[in-house]
């Protein structure tokens, strides 16, 4: 499985520059609000040194990485729900994403205007959250209107849904996010069916000056990146990018940090397969059992699952080959109840 991330923020916070850097895809990044009208969509391979190293060990013909889809929409401004700027119509483009990245400006550049006249990440965060809340409120109010008709038709589902819709409406009107209003698994399902934006996991990212960048998170726990540095890295080869990061005193790129945060936020892990044909990374949710992981490779594998040969990727690499790992007793046989771990390298045995 791959996953998708929507990028939101005020105009001129570096969204399009970041998107271009992340996807190495040319998009318009002019210095004026609302330059991005149509959503930009790009698919990024997730860098994974484990795949690279296993590929060398197995002499794989190719390496295949998991992917992330990034969706960049037009910048929002305060009162977009009232039609300010280009309004909030573009939020519909990110209703299907798994998580939302909120990029906030924390860089100083007199040549790049700030739509609210000052650099204030906390204010940016409040503005965007409010616009997401108002967008969800519109969705809930439409659903309430439809539900009233269903109530008149005496539909059982409508009666069950009514109190939850009213709870959502009241909470959103008071400025709460949808995620703060859900108190049970049943409500989570109902909210997901409504496609609400404010129930999605939110990843806050600060776009900082090049000389302020570090590997650390901000004091608030936000990911810190420099979109300018990321755009420079995007133009370099893999080796040149590593050297440039080292010169800057950085261990990881902003893309790596952002993806790591997304994985943690969404509760995702990676398992691996390797052989002469390919070495490959597969994304699954934390807590996935072996048969369901096999099903990610091919749906028939889940039904016909017999067992899994499992070894940690580093143990396999240290052994030098699958044969040596077996001789050393590093490869375990696991059954249907085995819960997959991040970094497991697996061979699934399935029936005919």
Q: Please tell me the predicted confidence (pLDDT) of residue 111.
A: 56
The H or E element containing residue 127 is: helix 121-152
Is residue 48 pLDDT above 80, yes or no?
yes
Mean pLDDT over 334-347 rounds to 97
Q: Please tell me the predicted confidence (pLDDT) of residue 2.
A: 73
Cα–Cα dist 98/261, whole Å: 13
Percent of the chain with pLDDT over 70: 86
Q: Please tell me the predicted confidence (pLDDT) of residue 108.
A: 73
Mean pLDDT over 27-43 rounds to 49
Q: What is the pLDDT of residues 262-274, one digit of tens each?
A: 999 999 999 999 9
Q: Categorize the per-residue pLDDT at 145 as very low, low, confident or very high, splitting at 50, 70 and 90.
A: very high
Nearest CA-CA partner of 76 in 18, 15, 22 = 15
Q: Categorize the per-residue pLDDT at 31 as very low, low, confident or very high, splitting at 50, 70 and 90.
A: very low
Tokens standing for 27? 């998009």
- Structural domains in the chain plus CATH codes: 287-350 (3.10.20.30)
User: Which is higher by pLDDT, 124 or 274?
Assistant: 274
Q: Please tell me the predicted confidence (pLDDT) of residue 255.
A: 84
Residue with tokens 């059954």: 335
Is residue 91 pLDDT above 80, yes or no?
no
∠ CA 91-93-96, nearest 5°, is 105
Mean pLDDT over 188-212 rounds to 88
- For every residue of 162-173, DSSP letters joined together read HHHHHHHHHHHH
Is residue 51 pLDDT above 50, yes or no?
yes
Q: Find out whether 271 and 284 touch, Cβ atoms under 8 Å.
A: yes
Q: Categorize the per-residue pLDDT at 157 as very low, low, confident or very high, splitting at 50, 70 and 90.
A: confident
Decide: residue 272, CB within 10 A, 0-12 exposed, 13-18 middle, 19+ buried.
Answer: buried
Mean pLDDT over 266-289 rounds to 96
Mean pLDDT over 83-89 rounds to 47
Is residue 316 pLDDT above 60, yes or no?
yes
Q: Please tell me the predicted confidence (pLDDT) of residue 115.
A: 57
Percent of the chain with pLDDT over 90: 45
CB under 8 Å to 132, separation ≥6 — which residues?
8, 91, 100, 177, 197, 198
**Rg of the chain over all Cα atoms, to the nearest angstrom:** 23
Q: What is the pLDDT of residues 217-248, one digit of tens each?
A: 877 788 999 988 988 888 888 889 889 999 99
**Rounded to two decimals, what is the model's pTM?**
0.80
Q: Please tell me the predicted confidence (pLDDT) of residue 342.
A: 97
Q: Please tell me the predicted confidence (pLDDT) of residue 84.
A: 45
């Amino acid at each position: 499985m791959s996953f998708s991330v929507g990028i939101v923020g005020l105009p001129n916070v570096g969204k399009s520059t970041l998107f271009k850097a992340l996807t190495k895809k040319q998009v318009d990044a002019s210095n004026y609000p609302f330059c991005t009208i149509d959503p930009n969509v790009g698919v990024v391979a997730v860098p994974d040194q484990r795949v690279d190293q296993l590929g060398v060990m197995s002499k794989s013909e190719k390496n295949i990485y998991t992917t992330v889809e990034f969706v960049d929409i037009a910048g929002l401004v305060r009162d977009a729900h009232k039609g300010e700027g280009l309004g909030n119509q573009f939020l519909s483009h990110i209703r299907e994403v798994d998580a939302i990245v909120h990029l906030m400006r924390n860089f100083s550049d007199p040549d790049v205007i700030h739509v609210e006249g000052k650099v204030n990440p906390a204010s940016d965060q409040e503005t965007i959250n409010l616009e997401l809340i108002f967008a969800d409120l519109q969705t809930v109010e439409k659903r309430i209107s439809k539900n009233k008709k269903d109530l008149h038709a005496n539909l059982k589902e409508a009666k069950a849904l009514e109190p939850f819709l009213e709870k959502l409406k009241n909470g959103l009107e008071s400025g709460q996010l949808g995620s703060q209003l859900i108190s049970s698994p049943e409500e989570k399902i109902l909210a997901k069916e409504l496609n609400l934006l404010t129930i999605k996991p939110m990843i806050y990212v600060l776009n900082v000056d090049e000389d302020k960048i570090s590997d650390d998170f901000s004091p608030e726990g936000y990911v810190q990146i420099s979109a300018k540095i990321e755009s420079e890295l995007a133009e370099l080869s893999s080796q040149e990018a590593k050297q440039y990061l080292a010169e800057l005193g950085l261990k990881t790129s902003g893309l790596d940090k952002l993806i790591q945060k997304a994985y943690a936020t969404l509760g995702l892990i990676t398992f691996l397969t390797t052989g002469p044909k390919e070495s490959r990374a597969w994304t699954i949710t934390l807590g996935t059992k072996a048969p369901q992981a096999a099903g990610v490779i091919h749906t028939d594998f889940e039904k016909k699952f017999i067992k899994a040969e499992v070894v940690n990727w580093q143990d396999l690499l240290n052994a030098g080959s699958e044969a040596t790992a077996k001789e050393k007793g590093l490869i375990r046989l696991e059954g249907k109840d085995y819960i997959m771990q991040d970094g497991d390298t697996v061979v699934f045995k399935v029936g005919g």
